[in-house]
A and B are shown apart, each in its own frame.
Chain A
Amino acid sequence: MIVVEDIHVTFGRGTPLEKHALRGIDLTIPEGEFVTVIGSNGAGKSTFLGSLAGDVLAEQGRISIDGTDVTRWDTPRRAGLVARVFQDPMAGSCAALTIEENMALAAARGRRRGLGLALGSDRRRGFRDRIAELGLGLENRLHDRMGLLSGGQRQAVSLLMATLAGSKILLLDEHTAALDPATADFVLDLTRRIVRDNRLTTLMVTHSMRQALDYGDRTLMLHEGRVVLDVAGDERAGLDVPHLLALFAKQRGGVEISDDSLLIG
């Protein structure tokens, strides 16, 4: 469970470029819920995810994960609780390391890393079994460097890596945005499966309103650092993209949406 109480984040305070990116977000996400997050460019989606992961520390407010106050924890410390997949397939894994080395890195998330071998034969076998689940034939390529994989394959392995250390929270930052449509669908289906099988509490940032409504149990819309829409259950099931656009327009004070960064498809 994630509890967020009135968090504020300001970049470049006291400079002409000062940006109040998060302006008081209050949110409770129960265990196992899959939340999709939408909003235009600069709405604070990535900053919000970053503040949950520890990349950005909130200057005000409180964040607790599974009852532990993590507000002041940095990224490595939170990594034991939180797994992530980034937008850029290159960002979430080490291209120069092999697939199995990447998996070993992820499997040690949240543990002390000692001088024991990172890749014993038992662990190798375990990785082989886990990666076979993806159905991509990667079980025979464990020694290949991660950089040799396609973007979709890397995102698929990154998703798998997110489950290796048993953390219960998954943060997805537009993790299909850099992929072609067919690959994006494959990765989204895999996401759904992995989230369900591991009962992960998930936040998925997306640019696509369609995706936001099709996947998950609850949808948040951010605008100018605030949550302006929070729908779940029957209300959400009755929503379609045009409704969402209308709701969004209303939140902006009746101004028609001209921001093409909000994809309708």
Chain B
Amino acid sequence: MGASVCPFKSTAMTEIALFGAIEIGLVYALVAIGVYLSFRILDFPDLTVDGSFPLGAAVCAVLLIAGVNPWLASLSAALAGAVAGLVTATLNVRFKILHLLASILTMIALFSVNLRVMGRPNVALLMQDTVLTPFYGLGIPDHIVRPLVVGVIVAVVVLLLARFLASEFGLAMRATGVNARMARAQGVDTDGHVYAGIALSNGLTGLAGALFAQTNGFADVTTGIGTIVVGLAAVIVGETVLPARALALALIGCVAGSILYRLAVQVALSADSIGLQASDLNLVTAVLVAVALILPRLKAKASRSAPRNPSAAK
């Protein structure tokens, strides 16, 4: 059969595309976990990630070019993201600016900051060592090494975060998001937990940006656009396929959701018959998130109205 009918051009392409989707899904899994922390645990809709993701990429790329150790560069990227989160949290907690607006202010400011950090709109990483370099010479194909290394990093983050959320400090953070008044009456410094949670969320996003730069070989100021929507999409897909109350499972759901989302995008973009192209990605993502947000509401409405129908009850 002709290549135009087959969704993939060849089997080799399929494998590379598949692992590529898993790899980018794993990188954005850290964003998804960060978004889960802010949106779900703290009930704080934080758009800062659109700025802290490219900030992480920029900081990491610039440090790598300066010859800094890749792990140290990645850690610095995470710290830079955390500082961005602290700015948003300060605007909201200390100066009482609406959380959404506070995060938009930080996000827009970070665009300029990122340009300053890099000195130009994009930086290429060609010969620099990255956290992946030591693993390239081991006889495993490069397109498999990358998701493996990123996967291990994500697994460590999930384990640490699950343990953190089960601690007394983590429990207090969850209470802050669920019922701040009760949390304060139980002696929880709710302001402090908002600072910590938003910093952690954006720290993870900064780390994701650093891994993105290292796996893709560049940092670019425009990579941040729509980060929040992609993260939210992953969280929602994860909650749909893994509707778990246990926190560790919810975090794993974020990772699974991020990978599934990328696979779905890959399939959609590869299938010529649908006629989508790469530039349609943001539109597809926005529609996906909107549908995922609307569906539960429609379902609830349907189940509410059903018992009112007397003929249906009999």
Contacts and interface: CB of A to CB of B under 8 A. Distances in A.
Contacts, number: 86
A94 interface: yes
Given A76-B189, A108-B187, A119-B166, A113 B172 contact: yes
Given A76-B188, A79-B186, A84-B185, A114 B175 contact: no
Contacts of A117: 166-168
Contacts of A110: 187
Interface stretch (A8-16, A99-107, A134-142, A255-263): A99-107
Contact of A118 (B166, B178, B189, B245): B166
Interface in B185-226: 185-190
Contact of A115 (B169, B175, B187, B245): B169
Interface string A86-114: 10001111111100010011101111011
Given A79-B184, A95-B178, A115 B164 contact: yes
B172 A108 contact: yes
B185 A104 contact: no
Given A76-B188, A106-B186, A91 B179 contact: yes
Interface residues of B, number: 23
A97 B178 contact: yes
Contacts of B164: 115
Majority SS at the chain B contact face: helix
A67 interface: no
A109 B171 contact: no
Given A91-B179, A94-B178, A95-B179, A105 B188 contact: yes
B185 A113 contact: no
A75 interface: yes
Nearest to A119: B166
B172 A115 contact: no
B167 A105 contact: no
B185 A108 contact: no
Given A76-B184, A80-B187, A93 B179 contact: yes
Interface in B140-190: 164, 166-172, 174-175, 178-179, 181-190
Nearest to B168: A113
A108 B164 CA distance: 16
A130 interface: no
B136 to A, nearest CB: 36
A116 interface: yes
B175 A94 contact: yes
A128 interface: no
A258 B69 CA distance: 78
B154 to A, nearest CB: 21
B168 A93 contact: no
A104 B169 CA distance: 11
Interface in B86-106: none
Contacts of A213: none
Contacts of B189: 76
Interface in A153-203: 161, 165
Nearest to A115: B167
Contacts of B184: 75-76, 79
A53 B169 contact: no
A114 B183 contact: no
B167 A114 contact: yes
B182 A94 contact: yes
B182 A145 contact: no
B272 to A, nearest CB: 45
Given A97-B174, A117-B167, A118-B167, A75 B182 contact: no
A3 B181 CA distance: 25
A145 B167 CA distance: 18
A104 B165 CA distance: 13
A79 B172 CA distance: 14
Nearest to B193: A113
A79 B182 CA distance: 11
A106 B186 CA distance: 6
A76 B182 contact: no
Interface of B: 164, 166-172, 174-175, 178-179, 181-190, 245
Interface of A: 53, 75-77, 79-80, 84, 86, 90-97, 101, 104-106, 108-111, 113-119, 145, 161, 165
Give the 9 A-B residue pairs with the shortest CB-CB distance, closest first.
A79-B187, A113-B168, A118-B171, A109-B187, A94-B178, A75-B184, A115-B167, A118-B168, A96-B178
10 contacts: A53-B185, A76-B187, A91-B182, A94-B175, A105-B183, A110-B187, A113-B167, A113-B169, A115-B169, A116-B167
